[in-house]
Amino acid sequence: MFSSAPKIIAACALLTGATVTFGMQNQCIASSGSLVTPVLELYTSEGCSSCPPADQWVSGFKGKDVVVQAFHVGYWDHIGWVDRFASPAHTSRQREIAAQNRLRNIYTPQVVVNGRDWPQWGNAQSRITGSRSIATVHVSLKRLADDQFEATVTQAPATDAAQAWSAYWTVTEHGHSSKVKAGENAGEFLKHDFVVRQYTQAGVYKSGSTPQKLAFRSIAATPGHERQINLVVFEPQSGKTLQALSLSCSAEVR
Enclosing domain of residue 168: 7-247
Domain contains 253: no
Q: Is residue 195 part of a domain?
A: yes
At 39, which CATH number?
2.60.40.10
**CA–CA separation, 252 and 31 (whole Å):** 20
175 domain residue, yes or no: yes
When computed from its CA atoms, the radius of gyration of the chain, rounded to whole angstroms, is 18
pTM, two decimals, is: 0.88
Q: Is there a domain that residue 156 lies in?
A: yes
What per-residue confidence (pLDDT) applies to 88? 98
What pLDDT is recorded for position 159?
A: 52
* Residue 254 placed within a domain: no
Residue 193 lies in a domain: yes
Tell me the pLDDT of the chain (254 aa) as tens digits: 444 445 443 333 444 333 233 343 457 999 999 999 999 999 999 999 999 999 999 999 999 999 999 999 999 999 999 999 999 999 999 999 999 999 999 999 999 999 999 998 887 677 787 778 999 999 999 999 999 999 999 998 755 566 899 999 999 999 999 999 999 999 999 999 999 999 999 999 998 879 999 999 999 999 999 999 999 999 999 999 999 999 998 745 44
CA proximity to 112, closest of 95, 132, 134: 95
**Is 1 inside a domain boundary?**
no
* In a domain? residue 228: yes
Q: How many domains does the chain divide into?
A: 1
Q: What's residue 110's pLDDT?
A: 98
Burial environment of residue 254 by CB neighbours within 10 A (0 to 12, 13 to 18, 19 or more): exposed
Label the pairing between strands 110-113 and 148-155: unpaired
CA angle 5, 162, 121 (to 5 degrees): 60
